[in-house]
Amino acid sequence: MKGKMIRLTWPSKRISLMALAIIMLWLKTYITYKISFDIKIENAIQELILFINPLAFLMIVFGGSLFFKNKFKSGYILGASCLVSAILYGNVVYYREFTDFLTIPLLFQASNMGELGESIFHLLSPWDILFFLDVFVLVLLIKWKPAFVSATPYNKRKQKVYVLLVAAISFLNLGLAETERPQLLTRTFDREMLVKNIGTYNYHIYDAFLQSKSSAQRALADGTELADIENYVRANYKQENPAMFGAAKGKNVIMISMESTQNFVINETVNGQEITPFLNSFIKDSYYFNHFYHQVGQGKTSDSEFIVENSLYPLSRGAVFFTNPRNQYRATPEILNEAGYSTASLHANNKSFWNRDVMYGSLGYQRFYNIEDYTVNEENSVGWGLKDKDFFEQSIEHLKELEAKGKPFYAKFITLTNHYPFTLDEKDASIAPYDSNSKTLNQYFLTVRYMDEAIGHFIDLLKKEGLYDNSVIILYGDHYGISENHNAAMAQYLNKEEITPYDSAQLQKVPLIIHIPGHKGKVMTEVAGQVDLKPTLLHLLGIPTKDNIEFGADLFSKDRLGFTVFRDGSFITEDLTFTKDTCYSNVNGEPVEDAAACGPYEEKAKQELEFSDKIIYGDLLRFNENVKSP
């Protein structure tokens, strides 16, 4: 019998619209990881994880089209592509300024958006239109229906194979991630680690799980959870310095939160001119802490307020001012109310911004001077609102109101002008901008200098009104002003080849200046953080804090531990800096040979952050007898 003719059937060259959408969005996500996010990759396995981590999620989302009839498939695929692209793009824009990823609690802060218009505008780029190129391609494919795009539905066999493939990719991703980073999901304070290993989209699903979990914590909490925390706080309490306890008893307290002010500007110059001439002179007659660090999370300025007033850590997700504004706290204003003080916060912004009108009641403030208490017009405002010089000038009358009550006052000022994007009228600029590839850093020096001049003018007004000699004056930076996205320009200014993770940690220093009438100036070199400010102030005023539940220690205590914790779990001691999973020596900024040297401090940092989170999420202070209902 003659040989039979064999017909070869080649696979179809057509590809489904769903597969095209998945591939385009998968590649776009990976390219975004590499271009828009600064995700550190240490080996080939981490690169592989980063590459595959969006795939399973995208296959699940777009796989939903398998259950739609043909006439609805295209609409579903296009809608899913738009939604997922919007989530990715939202993270890109947020990352440009904060070097961080969005969380669900941040979305609850939508009331802030009206105030953020100019800042958000500066984060956008005309080239961002290319970010949605794949969506435009999908629209064209749906409209034109080219021959290479298949509309053939998946049969049940193909659907089963699809599901098995999704499961296989998911387990591969999780297996590799767990091998590369054990206990990954317990390190929820490190969002970069989560995104690197499980992907942006799965991170948001996990964030939603955390949100639901935290929402249930208050309802399930009881007083027994507070016992371990109280024992920890008592065991770590540092005795006050007898020479400083009560050193400012009965005096007014004027506290100034210096917007976005980092310590690298103190005693430094730009273009041959001093950046902060007033602060440089003021520290000569004050206690100046040059190793003091901010500890904020996503709440930025509101977080710094929360830390300073409560000696608790902020949350890793969102801002306490929004997530837990009606908790019961034992904050500085409440304590000072009981000690016979008048308490007020002064900030020329809308009272609802950062939910302050609600949160301040829980903190115990008797008065909030907000934008309604100031005269604001186009002439005296720039950027975020009332210029600092006008703010301080108009605030003098409010201080007189407080003084007229016949008792000492506690007044906290929050400045505005030195805020991203660091806009300043040309007539208000007294130094030339820096010259680098970062407009943000170039302008930053101008607004810092303006703020410095405004504070100097305010101090002169205090002297003129007779308030200076009877007031403790505290100045502190609330958070960083220059994010890691401007590292190249920062390296240029600091005359470094590059900004390393160690350098980034050290750049989180912010100024802390405490001026006490009659005391000589002194530079304090101890490592400290914003969490230490509350017990320090109360001790200066002669108010004991031993029964308070707080994680800071008096900065003047002789036996305090030089130790400060960042919200992402990084920490700094007198000798070591731990950041990005690496332990560095403070002597040379290089990784230490003994990687376990940071171990004991790492446990302490984790413990304090967890305890603080439990207090906030569970509203545990309501079970403490020293805390009164707001």
Taking the C-alpha atoms of residue 111 and residue 383, their distance in angstroms, rounded to an integer, is 18
Residues in the chain: 630
Would you state the pLDDT for residue 542?
97
Which strand (E) or helix (H) includes residue 613?
Answer: helix 599-617
Between these two residues, 393 and 90, which has the higher pLDDT value? Answer: 393
**Is 475:513 a contact under the CB 8 Å cutoff?**
yes
**Is 295:589 a contact under the CB 8 Å cutoff?**
no
**Secondary structure class of 578 (helix, strand, coil):** strand
Q: Where are the alpha helices (DSSP H) in 480-567?
A: 487-493, 501-506, 533-540
DSSP state letters, 299-355: THHHHHHHHHHHS----SSS-HHHHSTTS----HHHHHHHTT-EEEEE-SS-TTGGG
What is the token pair recorded at 365? 């403030």
Instruction: Write the single-letter amino acid at 570.
Output: S
Taking the C-alpha atoms of residue 517 and residue 251, their distance in angstroms, rounded to an integer, is 9
Between these two residues, 82 and 352, which has the higher pLDDT value? Answer: 82
> Please, which residues have CB within 8 angstroms of residue 338's CB and are 6 or more apart in sequence?
none
Q: Respond yes or no: is residue 323 known to be catalytic.
A: no
pLDDT at 118 over 70: no
Taking the C-alpha atoms of residue 124 and residue 118, their distance in angstroms, rounded to an integer, is 10
Q: How confident is the model at residue 3 (pLDDT cuts 50, 70, 90)?
A: very low
Instruction: Write the single-letter amino acid at 596.
Output: A
Instruction: Write the single-letter amino acid at 349.
Output: N
Orientation of helix 44-52 relative to helix 17-35, angle to 10°: 140
- The CATH class of 245-552 is alpha beta
Q: How many CB atoms lie within 10 A of CB 375?
A: 10
DSSP, res 37: S
Chain segment 239-296, per-residue pLDDT in tens: 999 999 999 999 999 999 999 999 999 999 999 999 999 999 999 999 999 999 999 9
Active site residue: 29, 103, 188, 301, which one? 301
Instruction: Write the single-letter amino acid at 620.
Output: L
**Is 295:307 a contact under the CB 8 Å cutoff?**
yes
Chain segment 404-441, per-residue pLDDT in tens: 999 999 999 999 999 988 999 999 999 999 999 999 99
Which phi and psi (to 5°) does residue 344 adopt?
Answer: -155, 150
The residue written with tokens 């750049």 in the block is: 507
Q: What is the mean pLDDT of residues 59-64?
A: 91
Q: Give the angle subtended at the CA of 240 by the CAs of 239 and 244, to the nearest 5°.
A: 160
Partners of 382 in the β-ladder: 385
pLDDT at 354 over 90: no
Residue (of 520, 513, 509) closest to 475 by Cα position: 513
Q: In angstroms, what is the C-alpha Rg of the chain?
A: 28
pTM recorded for the entire structure: 0.80
Would you state the pLDDT for residue 7?
45
User: Quick one: 121 exposed, middle or buried, by C-beta within 10 A (0-12, 13-18, 19+)?
Assistant: exposed
Domain positions in the chain are: 15-217, 245-552
Would you state the pLDDT for residue 434?
96
Taking the C-alpha atoms of residue 458 and residue 136, their distance in angstroms, rounded to an integer, is 55
Chain segment 139-183, per-residue pLDDT in tens: 999 888 887 877 667 778 888 888 899 999 999 998 888 888 776
What is the token pair recorded at 445? 């020096």
